Amino acid sequence: MTHRKILIITTNHSSYPGADAVGQARMAYGANTYIIRVPDPVMFPEDFYLRAYDKGIAGIIIMSSGSDCPYEGAYERLSKRVARVYEKMKAKGIAVNRLKLTTICTVCRAAFLKEISEMEKAVAAI
């Protein structure tokens, strides 16, 4: 079985500590998973996601802080941006289940692993 690359975009203050908690608990996830740690995912332009697919990324999980985001209005802008990316994905024939926006907290180990597992299942059909 070929492992498809999954990119996870995490926030410094919320979802990355959740990923770190997974490692500290010695819980494992696939080596095909790559994490980018950023202040907030809203910093990525819409075309970033499309270029990532063009370069071989099979699935992208944006793990944000949701309404707990310390940057005023960032989550709302991110949600709207992701909706526009979904439209661009549809236009290019890219399945929208290959991109997911979710909220992960600092201690959400099970949720973190669940999101990866669900994305692995989504991209297995590619």
For 5-124, CATH number?
3.40.50
Has residue 87 got a pLDDT over 80?
A: yes
pLDDT at 67: 65
| Percentage above 90 pLDDT, the chain | 40
Calculate mean pLDDT across residues 101-121.
82
Tens-digit pLDDT profile for residues 7-33: 999 887 777 666 766 766 677 777 888
Q: Which residue has the higher pLDDT, 116 or 67?
A: 116
Measured between alpha carbons, how far is 59 from 33 in angstroms, rounded to an integer?
A: 9
Has residue 1 got a pLDDT over 50?
A: no
Q: Which residue has the higher pLDDT, 88 or 29?
A: 88
Q: Which residue has the higher pLDDT, 61 or 74?
A: 61
pLDDT at 70: 63
- Domains of the chain by residue range: 5-124
| Percentage above 70 pLDDT, the chain | 82
Judge whether 100 and 86 are in contact, CB under 8 Å: no
In terms of phi and psi (left: phi > 0; alpha: psi -120 to 50; beta: otherwise), the region of 66 is left
Kindly state the helix (H) or strand (E) to which residue 86 belongs, with its residue range.
helix 74-92
